């Protein structure tokens, strides 16, 4: 991370080596910050700060590899159940990170999006997210999406509510409701489904992440804790993805 960079912005880490054909959309469940902290005799929050450094390195690595969309699970709708100090520490971390990174992200042509129930977030954090989205809305390199106060079930519920509201206004014929009716009402309908979902820290579950969109996603799990995840792990996941045959329910000879 501290290597000298060839990139346009001095804050941007150097590109990874050994990249191969990338999937268009990679989504990551960044797990293991707490375990990393414990194993280093530190407070859990310090694990999240280390996770932030890893996230920054991963965003630029993904862009350098030609990945078009990167979505990360930053704070789930279930994470409110954590101790109050950890929740408020995570809110402060996200605010500080967004303020520190937005100019570099923008200068590098990266588009920032935030999905989730943003109306339930503290005003200052929501405001920073909205500013970041406006600031980068015309950018055409990597689309970097943060899922914050996000739950896959809540996203589907919100889409169903929008459909019901349209149907109640007679703006929609119930018989015509199909998958498209949901897909077009998700939080970021223009983002393609993830091709590859990476989960760190070894658990074999989706934890309410992109439930609708992950129907045909390939899943890659590593025991590596998120703070220890490197661009080389990303390249390994992509290489493994490239060896798989995606059938989407059909037979491929």
Please report, as ranges, the residues that interact with ligand FPP according to CB under 6 A.
30-35, 48, 51-52, 55, 74, 79, 93-94, 97, 146, 201, 226
Which residue, 51 or 151, has its beta carbon nearer to ligand FPP? 51
Closest alpha carbon to 112 in 93, 126, 98, 123: 98
Residue nearest to ligand FPP (CB): 34
Minimum CB distance to ligand FPP smaller for 163 or for 187: 187
Residue among 59 and 163 whose Cβ is closer to ligand FPP: 59
- Terminal C-alpha separation, the chain: 43
Residues 12, 159: Cα–Cα separation, whole Å: 37
Q: Which of 11, 79, 166, 193 is catalytic?
A: 79
Considering the complex, state which of residue 22 and residue 32 has its C-beta at the smaller distance from ligand FPP: 32
Catalytic residue at 31? yes
Token output for 215? 């129907």
Residues in the chain, how many?
253
> Is 228 one of the catalytic residues?
no
For residues 70 and 28, is the Cβ–Cβ distance under 8 A?
Answer: yes
Least spacing, CB of residue 244 vs ligand FPP, in Å = 26
Nearest distance, CB of residue 16 and ligand FPP, angstroms: 19
Catalytic residue among 2, 11, 31, 173: 31
Smallest distance from ligand FPP to CB 12, Å: 16
Q: Minimum distance from CB of 203 to ligand FPP (Å)? A: 8
Pull the structure tokens for residue 171: 């703006």
Number of C-beta neighbours around residue 161 at 10 A: 11
How far apart (Å, rounded) are the C-alpha atoms in residues 192 and 134? 20
With the CA atoms of 5, 143, 233 and 54 taken in that order, what torsion angle do they form, in degrees rounded to the nearest 10?
A: 60
- Catalogue the active-site residues: 31, 79
């Amino acid at each position: 991370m501290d290597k000298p960079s060839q990139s346009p912005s001095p804050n941007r880490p150097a590109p990874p080596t050994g990249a191969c054909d990338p999937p268009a959309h990679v989504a990551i469940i960044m797990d293991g910050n707490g375990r990393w902290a414990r194993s280093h005799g530190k407070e859990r929050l310090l694990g999240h700060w280390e996770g932030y450094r890893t996230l920054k390195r991963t965003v630029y690595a993904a862009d350098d590899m030609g990945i078009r969309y990167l979505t990360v699970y930053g704070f789930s709708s279930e994470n409110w159940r954590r101790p109050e100090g950890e929740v408020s520490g995570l809110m402060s971390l996200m605010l500080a990170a967004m303020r520190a990174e937005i100019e570099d992200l923008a200068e590098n042509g990266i588009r920032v999006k935030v999905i989730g129930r943003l109306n339930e977030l503290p005003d200052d954090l929501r405001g920073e997210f909205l500013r970041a989205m406006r600031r980068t809305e015309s950018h055409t390199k990597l689309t970097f999406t943060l899922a914050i106060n996000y739950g896959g079930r809540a996203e589907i519920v919100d889409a169903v509510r929008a459909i019901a509201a349209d149907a109640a206004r007679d703006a929609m014929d119930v018989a015509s409701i199909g998958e498209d009716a949901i897909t077009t009402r998700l939080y970021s309908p223009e983002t393609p489904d993830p091709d590859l979902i990476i989960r760190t820290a070894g658990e074999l579950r989706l934890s309410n992440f992109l439930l609708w969109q992950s129907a045909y996603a390939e899943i890659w799990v590593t025991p590596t804790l998120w703070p220890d995840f490197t661009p080389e792990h990303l390249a390994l996941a992509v290489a493994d993805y490239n060896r798989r045959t995606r059938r989407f329910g059909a037979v491929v000879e």
